[in-house]
Amino acid sequence: MTTTRRLGSDGTTLEVSAPGLGCMGLSQSFGPPPERGEAIAFLREAVAAGVTFFDTAEVYGPFDNEELVGEAALEPVRDEVVIATKFGFAYDEGGRQTGISSRPDDIRRAVEGSLRRLRTDVIDLLYQHRVDPDVPIEEVAGAVRDLIAAGKVKHFGLSEAGPTTIRRAHAVQPVTALQSEYSLFWREPEESVLPTLAELGIGFVPFSPLGRGMLAGDVTRESTFGEGDIRATLPRFTADALDANLELVDRVRAVAERRDATVGQVALAWLMAQQQWIVPIPGTRRMSRLRENLGAAELALGPDDLAELTAASDAVTVVGDRYPAAMQAMIDRS
């Protein structure tokens, strides 16, 4: 039986499978994507396995990922699943992403396109993908509030937003969930974001909860990343950084072996033990890995396990930024 959790406070709660499924990798970022038929079959198997929370975005592809998710998994079982998608980027006439834009007109355009591609009449959870410094967050929240009133969106979310931005948005339209990176490798949200979410009753949806695969246990010090794999461009995955960063994986593996679990399961179980309103969305293309990830919800780590993992994370200095400089600049820390 799949474990479920609730995102958001009373009046805005959203029940989802924990963990959910990040769908981006079915279209981009981790080498050549699978054939369309293979991806469709995988997503339908994910539904059968109990996944009810699917995360996609307009920019993934761009556009292809929403089409894939809509066709593959969701239209036949629409009432049984939760669809999360995102707006917030601008595109040229050829459909290439050119920058950030959260102008209200662009939000409405994005939602109409997402509804069409997802083959649905309502989006369960709509995130602003990146904070737009040129558009007041109150205008963004107001535009989403209007879409909720129109019945096109159910819940409002933010991605990579800082505490002040979260508060300002929440004052206009209650925020159900914040999405950002969080894992044993990256614990910055603990400083000010998680306390803000706890105070306001907002759920947290960590992406890259397995450190873009490093905490899945398959990456080694000899690993290389080919064309189309974003990790070839990420500072954490250079040869020198890998050598240092895999020390944390080795420490997590020690707990995993003791608990007869995988490294990935232990990393996800640690994350979900931090708060009941945390729902990670690890991405994968393989059913074996998906079942492994779902099994993390059944792994009850004891206080000593959790303390050991936290201490290991504290002890290892992670080498390399999350993103290249241009992508780092899109993160809101206000």
Q: Does pLDDT of 1 surpass 90?
A: no
For residue 164, the one-letter residue type is T
Q: Does pLDDT of 233 surpass 70?
A: yes
pLDDT tens track for 57-115:
999 999 999 999 998 867 778 889 999 999 999 999 888 899 999 999 999 999 999 99
pLDDT tens track for 260-313:
999 999 999 999 999 999 999 999 999 999 999 999 999 999 999 999 999 999
Confidence of residue 50 (pLDDT cuts 50, 70, 90): very high
**CATH topology for the 4-328 domain:** TIM Barrel (3.20.20)
Q: What is the DSSP annotation of 315-334?
A: HS---S-SS-HHHHTT----
pLDDT tens track for 167-181:
999 999 999 999 999
Token code pair at residue 27:
């279209």
Q: What percent of the chain has pLDDT over 90?
A: 89
Q: Does pLDDT of 199 surpass 70?
A: yes
The Cα 156–Cα 141 span in angstroms is 8
Q: What is the DSSP annotation of 228-267?
A: TBGGGG-GGGSHHHHHHHHHHHHHHHHHHHHTT--HHHHH
User: Among residues 175, 93, 95, which one has the least CA distance to residue 131?
Assistant: 175
3-state class (DSSP) for residue 77: helix
- In this predicted structure, what is the pLDDT of residue 73? 63
Domain ranges of the chain: 4-328
How many other CB atoms are there within 10 angstroms of residue 162's CB atom? 18
Token code pair at residue 26:
């079915």
| Catalytic residue set | 60
3-state class (DSSP) for residue 65: helix
Q: Which residues contact 119 (CB under 8 A, 6 or more apart)?
A: 70, 71, 74, 75
Give the global pTM: 0.96
- In this predicted structure, what is the pLDDT of residue 223? 93
Question: Please, are residues 293 and 268 in contact by the beta-carbon 8 Å criterion?
Answer: yes
Question: Between vectors from CA 59 to CA 3 and to CA 93, what angle results, nearest 5°?
Answer: 160
Using H for helix, E for strand and C for coil, what is the string for 305-319? HHHHHHHHHHHCCCC
The Cα 109–Cα 280 span in angstroms is 28
- In this predicted structure, what is the pLDDT of residue 129? 98
DSSP state of 72: I
3-state class (DSSP) for residue 58: coil
